[in-house]
C-alpha cells in the first residue's frame, strides 16, 4: 500500500532507468543547431533566426520557430537544445504574465533580465552534463531607458549587453565578422538603418551563415521557407510576414548568391 501513487517507483518496476547519467558522446542524439542574431536599427531592435533543427549530421526539422515572444515587448531567440529552450520560454512567459496580472503592471526590464539569468543558472547541471545547454539572446523595450536593448547569455547564466548587435549559435562566427565590418565601414551604422534595410541585412546574414554552417537552414526559396524576423519597438513586438520577406529576398538577396 505504501507504494501506491509512487510514479517513479512504478517506472523503475517497469524497467526504466531513473537518474542515470549519460556519458558524453553516447546515448540519444539531441536536436540542436541554429543561427540567431539581434541588431539595433533606426526604430528599435530586429531579432532573426533560421528554422533548421539538427541531430548530429541529420536535419530533423526545417520549420522551427527560434524567435519566441515572451510578452508584448520582449522576445527570446534560442540557440541550443530546443526542448530545454522551449521549457524556459514557457516558464518566462508564465512568470511575466503572472506578475502583470497580480501587480497590474509590467515586470521591469531589469526584472526580465534577472529571470532569464536565473533560469539558465538553474539549468547548469543539465548543461554541464551535455544534455540541455541553451545560449539565448534576449531583446526587449526598456521603458525606463526609453530604448530597445539586446542582451546575450552564456550557458551558465552570465549576461552581456549587445550594444549594437549580438549573435549566437553554430553559424554565429561567420556573421559576427560581417556585422562588425558592415557596422564599422558600411554606408551607415546598423542603428541608422530603416526597417526594410535592416530586414535585408538579416536575410543576407542568415544566407551567409547557411553557406558555411550545415546546421543553419538559411532561406529555402524553393520551399517558400523564410527565417523568423521580429521587430521590437515602443509599440511592441511585430513579426515580419513571409509576404514581405519573399520579395525582399528575391530582389535584394538571391541575385547576389
34 is catalytic: yes
pLDDT at 124 over 60: yes
DSSP letter (8 states) at residue 29:
P
How does strand 44-49 pair with strand 53-55? unpaired
The pLDDT of residue 153: 94
The pLDDT of residue 221: 86
Contacts for 162 with CB less than 8 Å, ≥ 6 apart: 38, 137, 150, 151, 152
Confidence of residue 18 (pLDDT cuts 50, 70, 90): very low
Q: Of 20, 26, 31, 34, which residue is the catalytic one?
A: 34
247, containing H or E segment = helix 242-252
For residues 37 and 49, give the distance between their C-alpha atoms in angstroms, rounded to a whole number.
Answer: 6
Q: What Rg do the C-alpha atoms of the chain give, in angstroms?
A: 20
37, containing H or E segment = strand 35-41
Task: State how far the alpha carbon of 256 is from the alpha carbons of 227, 248, 253, in Å.
Answer: 18, 12, 6
Beta carbons of 172 and 80 less than 8 angstroms apart: no
What are 60-114's pLDDT values in tens digits?
888 999 999 999 999 999 998 888 999 999 999 999 999 999 999 999 999 999 9
- How much is the mean pLDDT over the chain? 88
Confidence of residue 33 (pLDDT cuts 50, 70, 90): low
DSSP string across 149-179: EEEEE-TTS-EEE-SSEEEEETTHHHHHHHH
For residues 125 and 87, give the distance between their C-alpha atoms in angstroms, rounded to a whole number.
Answer: 16
What is the model's pTM? Answer: 0.85
Grid coordinates of 212: 558555411
Residues recorded for the chain: 257
Grid coordinates of 23: 556519458
* Residue that is written with C-alpha cell 541588431 in the block: 39
Amino acid at each position: 500500500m505504501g507504494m501506491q501513487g509512487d510514479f517513479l517507483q512504478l517506472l523503475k518496476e517497469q524497467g526504466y532507468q531513473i537518474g542515470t547519467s549519460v556519458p558524453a558522446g553516447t546515448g540519444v542524439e539531441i536536436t540542436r543547431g541554429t543561427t540567431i542574431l539581434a541588431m539595433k536599427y533606426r526604430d528599435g531592435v530586429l531579432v532573426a533566426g533560421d528554422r533548421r533543427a539538427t541531430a548530429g549530421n541529420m536535419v530533423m526539422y526545417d520549420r522551427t520557430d527560434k524567435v519566441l515572444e515572451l510578452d508584448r515587448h520582449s522576445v527570446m531567440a534560442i540557440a541550443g537544445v530546443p526542448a530545454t529552450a522551449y521549457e524556459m520560454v514557457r516558464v518566462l512567459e508564465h512568470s511575466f504574465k503572472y506578475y502583470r496580472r497580480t501587480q497590474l503592471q509590467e515586470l521591469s526590464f531589469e526584472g526580465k533580465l534577472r529571470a532569464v539569468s536565473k533560469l539558465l543558472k538553474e539549468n547548469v547541471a543539465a548543461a554541464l552534463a551535455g544534455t540541455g545547454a541553451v545560449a539565448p539572446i534576449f531583446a526587449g523595450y526598456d521603458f525606463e531607458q526609453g530604448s530597445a536593448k539586446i542582451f546575450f547569455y552564456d550557458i551558465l547564466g552570465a549576461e552581456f549587453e549587445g550594444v549594437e548587435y549580438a549573435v549566437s549559435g553554430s553559424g554565429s562566427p561567420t556573421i559576427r565578422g560581417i556585422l562588425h565590418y558592415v557596422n564599422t565601414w558600411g554606408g551607415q551604422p546598423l542603428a541608422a538603418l530603416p526597417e526594410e534595410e535592416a530586414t535585408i541585412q538579416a536575410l543576407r546574414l542568415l544566407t551567409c551563415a547557411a553557406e558555411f554552417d550545415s546546421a543553419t537552414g538559411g532561406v529555402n526559396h524553393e520551399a517558400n521557407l523564410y527565417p523568423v524576423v521580429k521587430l521590437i519597438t515602443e509599440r511592441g513586438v511585430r513579426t515580419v510576414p513571409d509576404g514581405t520577406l519573399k520579395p525582399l529576398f528575391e530582389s535584394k538577396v538571391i541575385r547576389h548568391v
